[in-house]
């Protein structure tokens, strides 16, 4: 029994030691990559400006090309560029050597990525790229490499060592390349005056796109779906209209269709507390005058914010003359993906 307890204690100690080692390694990796990024930040020079100018003046597309881990990073850079206003796509250098180079055309700009600057599949493309008259931006860790020499603009990531303890696995170099790509994309975004609405247009299927593009007019209840009663209607008639339309409220209008107020579940409870005869009393006596409304054409996310601010679950949408043209409830916003 004593031996078993001893083994258990030793096992726990070994586990704790391993966990300490894991954390120590993780912190070392973080420190290595942070220092590399700081060094890269300080080493940025006019080459970065030249690369941005080439891409900004590009009349075609920015084509990003890289092999292996550089390719994975290149794919992400192309995606970031495309979603921030710079038309771009990724071209695999291996496939490009067997036909996909036809993706490249005069007016494009090529970003070639290679840590060594000597990746065969990429270097093999460069003479043809030059014959096409396509300018090359090279991203490499070797400013004296073939890629750097072939490039119209060479960007040096300036990484001394990888975070990998063996110094072999692309770690720090890929991080530096990715951040450099982000810097290029954001610099171009700002130079083009790219806005949040522009971003939403390239992300129509995402929640951001829905929040920035969807208007209340597109999802509100309209016409026969609208719960409305005339001001002389009884509370009972208003209750039936509210139940029939299922919005938890009904609008109270005059004979010119002006919205005078809103009758809700809360108004009904207060009326019942006062022992009002719902068959004889008019809805105008118990409604909430005016109520919270929104002008048509506004963003759905603005409707959400207004409803949350006033802690209401439904709201009328009115035109410029304050006549009701629609109604929206929180559940509708939820289904539309705005919430």
Cβ atoms 331, 339 nearer than 8 A: no
Q: For the beta carbon of residue 188, count every other beta carbon within 10 angstroms.
A: 22
Residues 6+ positions from 230 with CB-CB distance below 8 Å:
252, 253, 254, 255
- 32 in Cβ contact with 77 (< 8 Å): no
Q: How does pLDDT run across 297-325, given as a tens digit for each residue?
A: 888 888 888 989 988 888 899 999 889 99
Q: Where are the domains of the chain?
A: 8-194, 216-335
Angle at 97 between CA 94 and CA 102, to 5 degrees: 115
Sheet containing 293-295, strands listed edge to edge, beginning at the edge strand earlier in sequence: 293-295, 314-318, 324-329
Q: What is the pLDDT of residue 7?
A: 58
Tokens of 169: 């696995």
Which fold would CATH assign to domain 216-335?
Answer: CBS-domain (3.10.580)
Q: What is the pLDDT of residue 335?
A: 79
Q: Helix H segments across the chain?
A: 2-43, 46-56, 69-83, 93-96, 120-123, 126-131, 146-150, 172-192, 196-201, 207-213, 216-219, 235-245, 265-273, 283-286, 300-310, 330-335
Give the number of other CB atoms < 10 A from CB of residue 208.
Answer: 13
Residues of the chain with pLDDT under 50: none
- 3-state DSSP call for residue 172? helix
The pLDDT score that the predictor gives to residue 150 is: 94
Task: Give the pLDDT confidence of 123-150 residue by residue, as tens digits.
Answer: 999 999 999 999 999 999 999 999 999 9
Residue 250, strand partner residues:
263
Q: Quick one: 8-194 is in which CATH superfamily?
A: Glucose-6-phosphate isomerase like protein; domain 1 (3.40.50.10490)
Res 165: pLDDT = 80
Provide the sign of the torsion angle of the four alpha carbons 167, 171, 174, 180, taken in this order: negative
Residue of 214, 221, 211, 207 whose CA lies nearest to 314: 221
Tokens 């938890």 locate to 248
What is the Rg, in whole angstroms, of the alpha carbon atoms belonging to the chain?
32
């Amino acid at each position: 029994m004593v031996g078993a307890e001893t083994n258990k204690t030793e096992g726990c100690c070994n586990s704790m030691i391993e966990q300490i080692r894991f954390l120590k390694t993780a912190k070392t990796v973080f420190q290595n990559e942070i220092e590399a990024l700081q060094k890269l930040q300080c080493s940025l020079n006019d080459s970065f400006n030249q690369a941005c100018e080439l891409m900004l003046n590009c009349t075609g597309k920015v084509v990003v090309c890289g092999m292996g881990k550089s390719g994975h990073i290149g794919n992400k850079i192309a995606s970031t560029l495309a979603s921030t206003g710079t038309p771009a796509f990724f071209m695999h250098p291996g496939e490009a050597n067997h036909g996909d180079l036809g993706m490249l055309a005069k007016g494009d700009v090529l970003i070639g990525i290679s840590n060594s600057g000597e990746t065969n599949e990429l270097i093999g493309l460069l003479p043809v790229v030059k014959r096409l008259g396509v300018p090359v931006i090279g991203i490499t860790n070797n400013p004296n490499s073939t890629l750097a020499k072939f490039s119209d603009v060479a960007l040096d990531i300036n990484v001394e060592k990888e975070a990998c303890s063996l110094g072999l696995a692309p770690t720090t170099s890929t991080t530096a390349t990715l951040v450099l790509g982000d810097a290029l994309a954001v610099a171009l975004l700002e130079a083009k005056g790219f806005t949040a609405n522009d971003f939403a247009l390239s992300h129509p299927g995402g929640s951001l796109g829905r929040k920035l593009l969807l208007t209340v007019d597109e999802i509100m209840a309209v016409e026969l779906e609208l719960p409305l009663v005339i001001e002389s209607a009884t509370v009972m008639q208003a209750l039936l209209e509210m139940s029939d339309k299922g919005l938890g409220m009904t609008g109270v209008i005059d004979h010119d269709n002006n919205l005078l107020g809103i009758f809700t579940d809360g108004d009904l409870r207060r009326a019942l507390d006062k022992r009002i005869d719902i068959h004889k009393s008019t809805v105008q006596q118990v409604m909430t005058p005016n109520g919270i409304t929104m002008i048509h054409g506004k963003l759905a996310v603005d409707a959400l914010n207004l409803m949350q601010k006033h802690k209401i679950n439904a709201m009328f949408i009115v035109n410029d003359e304050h006549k009701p043209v629609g109604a929206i409830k929180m559940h509708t916003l939820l289904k539309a993906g705005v919430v």
